[in-house]
């Protein structure tokens, strides 16, 4: 799928103020600094569309980007950033959970996982919560450029075997790099196939 246009529409903290209408949307979630905003910029080939930063906790709001005037990409705040403090983390958690549970247009959630790390409890528990609530999601392994091909394959397969202990069926998954654009076509094709089934 070609991206012919990508426009920032609105940022807010409240799911009720998200854009009205029936366009399908695809949201990106994961721990702070995992690469959500960078991935949106890579997918749209619009550097600086979503605000990325080496400082964790950059994205604080629900951000809607209208793509090809017919569907949205949504950049969400990251979870698990301890330096936000207890209260700050609770606020972000509420924003994220309300969005995920209440936003009917949210067609698929991409859960981002840093491909360099061992499976983290916070991510496994988050995915379990998605399962309990029947939220459709796919996994995106990020920052693959920071590892050799062999290590990526090893990390991804050990992650998936860990998930198999928890899940009967594995979710779709993608291996990506915002630097090399690895995984771009695969994710856009996946979105396109869902868009076709929605329209």
Binding site for ligand GTP (CB under 6 A): 32-38, 52-54, 56-59, 77-78, 142-143, 145-146, 177-179
- Residue 115 binds Mg ion (CB under 5 A): no
Residue 187 CA to its chain's centroid (Å): 11
Hey, CA dihedral for 178, 181, 184, 186, is it positive or negative?
negative
**Among residue numbers 13 through 42, which ones bind Mg ion (CB under 5 A)?**
36-37
Question: Structure tokens of 162?
Answer: 């860990």
- Residue 59 binds Mg ion (CB under 5 A): yes
Distance separating alpha carbons of residues 65 and 99, to the nearest angstrom: 15
Number of H helices, E strands in the chain: 5, 7
Q: 56 touches which of Mg ion, ligand GTP, none (CB within 5 to 8 A by kind)?
A: ligand GTP
Nearer to ligand GTP, 52 or 106 (CB): 52
Distance separating alpha carbons of residues 13 and 182, to the nearest angstrom: 31
Distance separating alpha carbons of residues 62 and 133, to the nearest angstrom: 20
Nearer to ligand GTP, 18 or 50 (CB): 50
Q: Report the nearest approach of ligand GTP to the CB of residue 156 (Å).
A: 15
Nearer to ligand GTP, 43 or 52 (CB): 52
The residues binding Mg ion (CB under 5 A) are: 36-37, 58-59
């Amino acid at each position: 799928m070609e991206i012919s246009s990508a426009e920032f529409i609105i940022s807010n903290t409240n799911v009720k103020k998200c854009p009205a209408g029936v366009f399908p949307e695809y949201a990106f979630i994961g721990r702070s600094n995992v690469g959500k905003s960078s991935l949106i910029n890579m997918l749209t080939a619009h550097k600086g569309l979503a605000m990325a930063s080496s400082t964790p906790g950059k994205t604080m709001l629900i951000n809607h980007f209208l793509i090809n005037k017919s569907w949205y990409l949504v950049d969400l705040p990251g979870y698990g950033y301890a330096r936000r403090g207890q209260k700050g983390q609770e606020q972000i958690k509420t924003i994220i959970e309300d969005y995920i549970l209440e936003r009917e247009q949210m067609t698929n959630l991409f859960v981002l996982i840093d491909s360099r790390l061992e499976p983290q409890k916070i991510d496994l528990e988050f995915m379990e919560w998605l399962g309990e609530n029947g939220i459709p999601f796919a996994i995106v392994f990020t920052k693959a450029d920071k590892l050799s091909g062999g290590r990526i394959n090893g990390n991804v397969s050990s992650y998936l075997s860990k998930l198999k202990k928890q899940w009967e069926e594995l979710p779709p998954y993608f291996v990506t790099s915002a630097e090399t654009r690895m995984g771009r076509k695969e994710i856009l094709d996946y979105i396109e196939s869902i868009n076709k089934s929605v329209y």
